[in-house]
Structure 1
Amino acid sequence: MLKPRDIKTAEEARAIVEERNLSHVKVGLFDNDGVMRGKYMSRDKFLSSLDHGFSFCDVVLGWDVKDQLYDNARYTGWHTGYPDAPVRILPHSCREVPFEEDMLLFLAEFDGQAQAVCPRATLRRVIERCQALGFEPLAALEYEFFLFDETPDSARAKGFRNLKPFTPDWFGYSMLRNSVHAELYRDILELAERMDFPLEGLHTETGPGVLEAAIAVDRAEAAGDKAALFKTFLKVLAQRRGLMATFMAKWSGSYPGQSGHIHLSLRDADSGKSAFYDSSHSQGMSDVQRHFLAGQQRLMPEFLAMLAPTVNSYRRLVPGFWAPTDATWGVENRTAALRVIPGSDKSQRTEYRLGAADANPYLALAAALGSGLYGVMQQWEPSEAVAGNAYALQQPQALALPRTLWESAQRLKASEAARELFGSDFVEHFAASREWEEREYRRHVSDWELDRYFEII
């Protein structure tokens, strides 16, 4: 009997669908914001698409998380008539859907001209450049997320106010919480194993109802898939249990924000050894790791829109809440934006701590990897490492991060490095989508404004 994660080719994908005698298969891809879009596809259509691809309306690259159409994008819009774009199925992405008997899920990626603005294809292009330079990138993403004893209906009925967390109070690393709710933790761990985004760790974080999950390391492309699927199907699992999960960067001013940290390392393609580890250097940092770190640091302000892509992302980037505010780095220092983790040939790596949980995993990973790769290509050197509390130290203006999504979009558009790494078509399209997001925010009147100005002004 064929196993989903053993599928590598179109022929094997065809065989497993026929073996299970499926009438339909699930096919999905990810939009600008990392939202999974997809459908059930008939067996005959799927089998044909394995060889010839299929078409998907390109509106999913031209709208926001509320299905509202961008009015400032050149790639697609009313001016193009929202045509279909070619899509290719990725046979090696085959997975079981645990909630649906024998159902299979396959990921897809935009093809043809649409590749230029497709998030997954953008990551793939960065990885291919990395491989061309003789490196194999490895990555692991970890996410914080809040769980609520709410449903989509109850949360909306409350206006997303006064929501009931799954558990009360601040219980970081709590053995009490994970034992009392062992069934939920077991379900999360089993889901991760069955859908091949296995977790190295799962624990309560600081705040009511907040958990942190660390996805196991893999090659960078697979790591992107695993992170995107984890975010999607963790929300599915929660809602099937009468709960809700959120990956908003900051849902409340009273609690810490939610991170999406990215661990990265490079291995030499010829020797298989770590390109980051050199025991003769301080902290085991090789020249390659030092240049990689410098690229991440120098380009962080320019690439921030890909790592902090929503208006809400910038609510998290404030001092004292475990989120960096400048492009700093340190050795084993969690107040810095970049944390060097010394170790061995196996474990030497960098942790990109800036990323928020709301980022599209493919684009966050493309930014973190691409900036580091660019530093290697340019042989840049990092600043001095920070020691102690990075929040309390005065940093050069060049290391200051944009404070708003609009500013981040402008920095991305002006970045020559971004255009070289990701392509001008992607930079223009994604920056336009972030400008749209900021303008949508400014059109709405907040509760804070009403409370502050309605009577007194």
Structure 2
Amino acid sequence: MLEPRMVKTVADAKKIVEQRGLSYIKVGLFDIDGVMRGKYMSKEKFFSSLECGFAFCDVILGWDSNDQLYDNTAYTGWHTGYPDAQVEIIPSSCRELPLEDNMLLFIAQFSDAAASICPKNVLNRVISQAKEMGFVANAAFEYEFFMFDETPESVREKNFKNLKPLTPGNFGYSILRNSTHADLYQQILQLGEAMDFPIEGLHAETGPGVLEAAINHDIAENAADKAALFKTFIKVWAQQNHLMATFMAKWSNKLPGQSGHIHISLKNLAGDSVFYDESKAFNMSELQSYFLAGQQKYMPEFLAMISPTVNSYSRMVPGLWAPLDATWGVENRTTALRLIPGTAKSQRIEYRLGAADANPYIALAAALGSGLLGIKEKLAPKAQVEGNAYEQKHHESLTLPPSLSEAAKKLKNSQAANKLFGKEFVEHFAQTRLWEEREYRKHVSDWELERYFEII
């Protein structure tokens, strides 16, 4: 009997469906915001789609996370009539769905013209460039997320205020918390094993109801799949258990934000680390130095891909563990890039700027692609930051855009981004971020009412 993660080919995918006697299969793909969209397919339709692909309305790439239609994008919009776009199913993505008895899940991606702006394909193109340069990229995602004793109905009834977190107070790395809620933790760990996003570490983080999960490393393409599935199905699992999980970058102005850190390392095609050199300071090879410098140089230009929502920038304030400039340091968690010295197996860079709300495919494309540019251009990083990066003055070139609109404009005008990710993607993505900022500006916040209503 085939197991889901043994599936590699179209023939394997058909075989496992037949072996399980399935009449329907679930197929999903990820939109611009990293939200999984999809449907159940009959066995007959699924088999046909495995061979020839299938058509999916291109509105998936033309609306925001609230299903509001973009009015400023060229690829899709009212002016195109929202036609179907071609989609291909990836047989090797087959997963068990333990939350649905005996159901299988497959990931799909846009092909043909839509591939140019499909997030998964954007990452694949960066990975292909790495291979052309003689490298295989490994990555791992870490996510902080808040868990609430709420439901989709209750949070709306409360207008998203005065929500009840799963646990009260600040209690990071708490054995008391993870023992008291051991069943919850065990279910999350088991879900990760069953769906092949195995969790290397899971613990309570500082803040009411905060958890942090470190997903096992893998080659870059698989790592992004695991991260995207983790975010989706942790939320599914929570709601099935009458809880809610959020990956907002910052849900409360009284609490720290939520990160989505990315660990990256490079190997050559023989499988040897190209980041490790024991003869150099911090075991940092020349190639790793170039890679780090590229990430540092292009971080301000690529920021919209790493911090893609208005809310992302609420997290980037002094003293709350989110970097404010494109800095780097050795084992320094106040910098945007943390060099982690280790062995040939563990030498890596942690891209700490990332927030939990980023699309994993797009964020990893930015973090990896910028490093590859550093190698191509043989860049040298700015001086290492020692001590508290928040309290120091840094080179003006390292200043990060302070808002989504500024970040989107910087990305749109970036020659490096257009060349690396493709003009179609950069134009489309930047426009979607400008839309997001414009939608936000239509909103009158509680802060504005409290500040201006009577006094002004």
Give TM-score, length-normalised by structure 2.
1.00
2:188 aligns with 188
1:245 aligns with 245
The Cα of 1:156 is off from its aligned counterpart by: 0.4
CA distance in 2, matches of 1:8, 1:23: 21
The Cα of 1:368 is off from its aligned counterpart by: 0.2
2:375 aligned with 1:339, yes or no?
Answer: no
2:321 aligned with 1:322, yes or no?
Answer: yes
Identical aligned residues as a percent: 67
CA distance in 1, matches of 2:455, 2:157: 29
CA distance in 2, matches of 1:172, 1:199: 18
**Aligned length in residues:** 456
2:376 aligned with 1:373, yes or no?
Answer: no
2:433 aligned with 1:431, yes or no?
Answer: no
2:349 aligns with 350
Counterpart code for 2:315 = R
User: 1:208-219, aligned counterparts within 5 Å?
Assistant: 208-219=208-219
1:42 aligns with 42
Counterpart code for 2:92 = H
The Cα of 1:120 is off from its aligned counterpart by: 0.3
What do the CA deviations read for 1:38-79 (whole angstroms, capped 9, x no partner)?
Answer: 000111000001010001000010000010000000000011
CA distance in 2, matches of 1:206, 1:407: 31
CA distance in 2, matches of 1:149, 1:66: 23
Counterpart code for 1:174 = S
1:65 aligns with 65
CA distance in 2, matches of 1:220, 1:281: 26
What do the CA deviations read for 1:254-296 (whole angstroms, capped 9, x no partner)?
Answer: 1110000000000011x31101001111100001100000000
1:416 aligns with 415
What do the CA deviations read for 1:151-171 (whole angstroms, capped 9, x no partner)?
Answer: 000000000000001000001
The Cα of 1:21 is off from its aligned counterpart by: 1.1
Gaps of 5+ in 2: none
The Cα of 1:99 is off from its aligned counterpart by: 1.5
The Cα of 1:146 is off from its aligned counterpart by: 0.3
What SS is found at the alignment partner of 2:78?
Answer: coil
1:75 aligns with 75
CA distance in 2, matches of 1:257, 1:99: 29
2:150 aligned with 1:150, yes or no?
Answer: yes
Deviation larger for 94-103 or 426-435: 94-103
CA distance in 1, matches of 2:2, 2:268: 33
Counterpart code for 1:10 = V
1:258 aligns with 258
What do the CA deviations read for 1:193-249 (whole angstroms, capped 9, x no partner)?
Answer: 000000000000010000000000000000000000000000001111110000000
CA distance in 2, matches of 1:211, 1:134: 37
1:222 aligns with 222
What do the CA deviations read for 1:115-156 (whole angstroms, capped 9, x no partner)?
Answer: 000000000000000001000000000000000000000000
CA distance in 1, matches of 2:356, 2:186: 22
Counterpart code for 2:318 = P
The Cα of 1:88 is off from its aligned counterpart by: 0.3
CA distance in 1, matches of 2:82, 2:350: 39
Counterpart code for 2:250 = K
Deviation larger for 447-456 or 345-354: 447-456
Gaps of 5+ in 1: none
CA distance in 2, matches of 1:83, 1:48: 20
2:161 aligned with 1:161, yes or no?
Answer: yes
2:100 aligned with 1:100, yes or no?
Answer: yes
What do the CA deviations read for 1:168-195 (whole angstroms, capped 9, x no partner)?
Answer: 0001000000000000000000000000
What do the CA deviations read for 1:364-390 (whole angstroms, capped 9, x no partner)?
Answer: 000000000010011000011000000
Counterpart code for 1:447 = D
1:407 aligns with 406
2:9 aligns with 9
CA distance in 2, matches of 1:52, 1:265: 36
CA distance in 2, matches of 1:100, 1:175: 31
The Cα of 1:455 is off from its aligned counterpart by: 1.4
CA distance in 2, matches of 1:216, 1:454: 50
CA distance in 2, matches of 1:62, 1:165: 34
2:283 aligns with 284
CA distance in 2, matches of 1:243, 1:134: 45
What SS is found at the alignment partner of 1:79?
Answer: helix
Q: RMSD over aligned Cα, in angstroms?
A: 0.5
2:443 aligns with 444
2:405 aligned with 1:391, yes or no?
Answer: no
CA distance in 2, matches of 1:296, 1:249: 21
2:204 aligns with 204
What SS is found at the alignment partner of 1:201?
Answer: strand
CA distance in 1, matches of 2:99, 2:263: 30
Counterpart code for 1:424 = K
CA distance in 1, matches of 2:152, 2:101: 25
User: Which of structure 1's runs of 4+ aligned residues deviate more than 4 A?
Assistant: none
What do the CA deviations read for 1:369-428 (whole angstroms, capped 9, x no partner)?
Answer: 000001001100001100000000101110000000000001001111101110000000
2:273 aligned with 1:274, yes or no?
Answer: yes
CA distance in 1, matches of 2:225, 2:81: 30
What SS is found at the alignment partner of 1:66?
Answer: coil
2:232 aligns with 232
The Cα of 1:101 is off from its aligned counterpart by: 1.5
CA distance in 2, matches of 1:102, 1:207: 37
What do the CA deviations read for 1:66-101 (whole angstroms, capped 9, x no partner)?
Answer: 100000000000111000000000000000110111
The Cα of 1:446 is off from its aligned counterpart by: 0.8
CA distance in 2, matches of 1:64, 1:272: 40
Counterpart code for 2:344 = D
Counterpart code for 1:162 = N
